[in-house]
Structure 1
Amino acid sequence: MNKYLILCVDDERDVLDSVVQDLDCFEENFVLEAAESVAEAKSLIEEYQQEDVKLALILCDHIMPDQTGIQFLIELNENSPTTQARKLLLTGQAGLEDTVEAVNHSSLDFFITKPWRGDELREIVKSQLTTYMIANEPDLMPWASVLDTEKIFAAMAKKRADYGE
C-alpha cells in the first residue's frame, strides 16, 4: 500500500524532525520523507516518481533559502505529476499577501501556524490524505481503516451509486 509519499519541507532541522515525529503514525501506510530545502524536496519527488510513488501530501515551510514555500507549492500545482497532491503550508511567517497568492493559484489546501499541536497536525493531515485518496485512488477499501472511515465509506457508496453497482 506504500505507493504514496508524504513530504515535509523545512530548512530548520529541529522543526523538520518534530513534524516527522508527529506524523510517524502514517509511516505504516505512506512513505514519509523530510527535506531541508526546496532543491532536496524536488529531488525526492523526482526520485519517488521514478519508482511510481505519487506525492500525496506536502507540508512545507514558507521562509526558506532560494525559494519560498508558497512559490514551491504554486510550482507543484502547475506540474502535472504533482498537481493533485494536497499542499499544506506550515509557517509562522507567511504574510497575508503571500497566502492569498497561494490560495488564488489553487496551490494551498491548508494553512497551519507555528507552533502547532501534534494531535491537530495529525488530524489535518489525515483529513487532507482522505480527500486526496477519494479523488485519486480507485480502490478505497484498504484506506478505510487508515484514514477517515466515514468519509471513505461515503465516497465508496457514492461511487457505487454513480456507477449503478
Structure 2
Amino acid sequence: MERIAIVCIDDEREVLDALVRDLEDFASYFRIEPCESAADAEQVIEDLIREGWTPGLVLADHLMPGTSGVDFLIALNSRPETRAARKILVTAQAGLEDTVRAVNRADLDYYVRKPWKKSELHKVVRRFLTDFVLENSSDPLAFVPVLDAPRLFEGFRDRGAPAPS
C-alpha cells in the first residue's frame, strides 16, 4: 500500500489539535502531520517526500503569520512533486479575492468554513482522498475500509481489472 500523508496547517494550536482529532478515523491508512505554520509544513512535506511518503491531502488555514494558507497552497501547486495533492482551505477569514486566487492559482479543491462539523469534514476528506487514491495509487482497493468503497471498486473496474468478489 502506498504511503500517503495528510498535512494539516493552522497557527492556532487548539484548532490544529481539533482538526487532527477529527481526522483520527483516517490515521490507520494515512499519516497525519500537524503543522503550525506554512514554513513548518514546507519542512514536513520535504521530510515526508524524502522518507517515501506522498502528500495526498493538505488542509490549510488562511490567515497565519508569515506565509498565508492561500500563498502556501499556490506554492504547493507549482511543484511537480506536490501538485497532485488535494488542497482544502479551512478558514473563517478568507475573503472572496483570496478564495478566487486559491481556486485559480492553487487548484483549490474545497473550502471548509470554520467552525466545521466533524461529519462534513469526514465527507469532504473521504471524497478528496478517494479522488487522490484513484488517480495516484496502484492499489486503490487497499483503502476500501476508510474511503468511498463503491467509487474505489468502480475505479478499479474501469482500469480493466475485475473487482474482487
Corresponding residue for residue 15 of structure 1: 15
Corresponding position: 1:75 with 2:91:
no
Counterparts of 1:4-153 in structure 2, within 5 Å, are: 4-153=4-153
**Mind listing any 5+ residue stretches in structure 1 that lack a counterpart?**
none
TM-score relative to the length of structure 1: 0.94
Query: Does structure 2 conserve the Cα–Cα contact (< 8 Å) formed by 1:2 and 1:30?
Result: no
> What's the RMSD between the two structures over aligned residues?
1.1
Query: Does structure 2 conserve the Cα–Cα contact (< 8 Å) formed by 1:8 and 1:33?
Result: yes
Query: Does structure 1 conserve the Cα–Cα contact (< 8 Å) formed by 2:70 and 2:106?
Result: no
Query: Does structure 1 conserve the Cα–Cα contact (< 8 Å) formed by 2:8 and 2:35?
Result: yes
Query: Does structure 2 conserve the Cα–Cα contact (< 8 Å) formed by 1:2 and 1:29?
Result: no
Query: Does structure 2 conserve the Cα–Cα contact (< 8 Å) formed by 1:8 and 1:59?
Result: yes
Counterparts of 2:21 and 2:27 in 1: how far apart (Å)? 10
Across the two proteins, how many residue pairs are aligned to each other? 161
- Partner amino acid, structure 1, of 2:120: E
Counterparts of 1:28 and 1:35 in 2: how far apart (Å)? 19
The alpha-carbon deviation at position 123 of structure 1 amounts to 1.2
TM-score relative to the length of structure 2: 0.94
Counterparts of 1:103 and 1:64 in 2: how far apart (Å)? 19
The alpha-carbon deviation at position 102 of structure 1 amounts to 1.1
Counterparts of 2:73 and 2:17 in 1: how far apart (Å)? 21
Counterparts of 2:43 and 2:156 in 1: how far apart (Å)? 35
Task: Give runs of ≥4 in structure 1 deviating > 4 Å.
Answer: none
Compared CA separation, residues 4 and 35, structure 1 to 2 (3 A)? same
Counterparts of 1:45 and 1:103 in 2: how far apart (Å)? 21
Residue-by-residue CA offset, 1:125-149 (whole Å, 9 max, x unaligned):
0111000000101211211222100
Counterparts of 1:118 and 1:127 in 2: how far apart (Å)? 14
Residue-by-residue CA offset, 1:33-61 (whole Å, 9 max, x unaligned):
10000111001000110111000000000
Secondary structure of the corresponding residue to residue 160 of structure 1:
coil
Secondary structure of the corresponding residue to residue 120 of structure 1:
helix
Counterparts of 2:46 and 2:134 in 1: how far apart (Å)? 24
Counterparts of 1:113 and 1:146 in 2: how far apart (Å)? 23
The alpha-carbon deviation at position 107 of structure 1 amounts to 2.5
Query: Does structure 2 conserve the Cα–Cα contact (< 8 Å) formed by 1:77 and 1:83?
Result: yes
